[in-house]
Structure 1
Amino acid sequence: MKLIFALLLIANLLVFGWFKLDAAPMKVELQSREKNASAVKVVTGKLGASPEPTTAAEASPEPVASSAPPSSSPAMTSAPKASPTPSATVKVAGHCVRWTGITGEQIDAAREKLRTLGISATETSSGESSKVWVYMPPLDSLEAAKAKAAQLAEMGVTDYFVVNNGGRWQNAISLGIFSTREAGERHLAELQAKGVRSAVVRDRDDTLKQASFNAKNVSDQQLEKLNKLSLQFKGSVLRDLACAR
């Protein structure tokens, strides 16, 4: 039985081998697989994009011209904008001064001296219409009166002068003459608020006639001469003022 099975197996192998050797070899036409190879295109993953050629020369990306305007290169900078010219500061030429403490017959002489120096000044006088006087009573000496006046300046009092005419009110310190007692009392209250304690108000019966002069645009040369001139008028005071802009 085993012998018969072996013989049949050998017979089958011989028949299979004969058919294999007798069969004609299959020809595979590779050319058919390459049909229209030049028309083959590589499709990219972008929808709607045109396929690129498969050759190395054609497959290299071409530079794409952009429709957007080119950005400015670092070397091409815009011209700097001219900064606005600052407006010129209004400056008052020369000095602004106030000459006070001119009394009685000195007023006409001071007015003439100012005219001679070429200084245009505004005059303020307290004449017959003045009714009350705010002042500090006469001190023991002129030096004491000047020291008291310096204290007034430190307190912020600006309108004062030392009486130095040799009369009844010698060494008194005048703090203003007013046309009404109400105005005098109001000024006295302002002085007391600054710390002035010895000032008083009195009716104008024998008070001094006073005048002051305000001037601006005073040159250095005129100021020097005016300083020397003010020393000739006893009791007068020459002060620098802040010029109004």
Structure 2
Amino acid sequence: MKKLVWLLVLINVGLLAYFNKDVILPSAPKAALLAIHPEKISIVTQQQIDALPKKGVAATAPTVAAITPPSVEVTASTNPASAPATCYEWGVFSAANLTNAQAAVSNLSIQTTVKEQSSLEAKRFWVYKQPLKSVEAAQAKTQELKALGIQDMYIVQDARWKNAISFGVFEDEQLATKLLNELRAKGVKDVVKALRNQGKGHASLQLNKLTDTEVIELKKLKPEFPEADLKEVTCS
């Protein structure tokens, strides 16, 4: 009898819970249904669609400032570095030879300035070998001297000293004496040191800012003017 009573109680409790589950258990949210009104539906044109504001897009796009890198001014050198130039003094010349020397330099398109010399400044000491009988004999002798290790020399073409072999002209007598001794030590015979013009020269030529090519051409004139010394000086 008791079992029947408890069974009925359980059945009643179950039925009560079943019919009241919406109250006992939380229900899921229900989306509200929108009422549809056909009379309010209208057809829009493409222009009206384009006129609608775009969601999430700003009406006016922000202006982006263009960043222009600073210009770099490149200055091209219009005057390329020229070859270094040097200045020379050539002399001393007698009155007669000065005119000839100026003409020879003028043929090389080199501008000169005449520098007057005092008697003391005009002295030049010359180291040379006496003139030989012919140019062929002089050339043969220079080949013999080159075999002894001597390179700095030339055959004189001046009329008075034609075919002599010059080793150098110096203002300083000590330098001339030093060269003389060196030549003799190498076996050069009959070499002479002498006072070339005995202070009777008149002037020398100043040659400013010569290029290497001009110096080479100028040295080719030495055989014609054996009394003159070509030396590098400070440009004024």
Per the shorter chain, which TM-score range?
0.3 to 0.5
Superposition TM-score, scaled by structure 2 size: 0.44
Superposition TM-score, scaled by structure 1 size: 0.43
